[in-house]
Amino acid sequence: MSTLLIFGASRGVGLELARHACANGRSVVAMVRAGSDATALSETGAQIIRGNAFALKMLRAPLRSLA
């Protein structure tokens, strides 16, 4: 099964999607802003990446690890 990449996963729809996916056995990588409270997200088992989704340089390494 492929890995699900979720942006904005520290709250709201992104968090609920991460919860649902992890609970159903999916591998999840979740992107959250630096400084965001990711306590609830960390309880899902998702791999958390902190940073700015609009900074392409910041995304290269995490995205390569998914390939």
**Sign, CA torsion 52/32/23/45:** positive
Residue 28: CB partners within 8 Å, gap ≥ 6?
Answer: 3, 4, 5, 6, 9, 18, 21, 22, 44, 45, 46, 47
Per-residue pLDDT, 12 = 97
Domains within the chain, CATH numbers bracketed? 3-66 (3.40.50.1100)
pLDDT digits (tens, 9 = 90+) for 10-65: 999 999 999 999 999 999 999 999 899 999 999 999 999 888 878 777 777 767 76
pTM for the full predicted model? 0.82
Per-residue pLDDT, 43 = 96
Interatomic CA distance for residues 57 and 19, integer angstroms: 28
How sure is the predictor about 67, in pLDDT bands with cuts at 50, 70 and 90? low
Per-residue pLDDT, 30 = 93
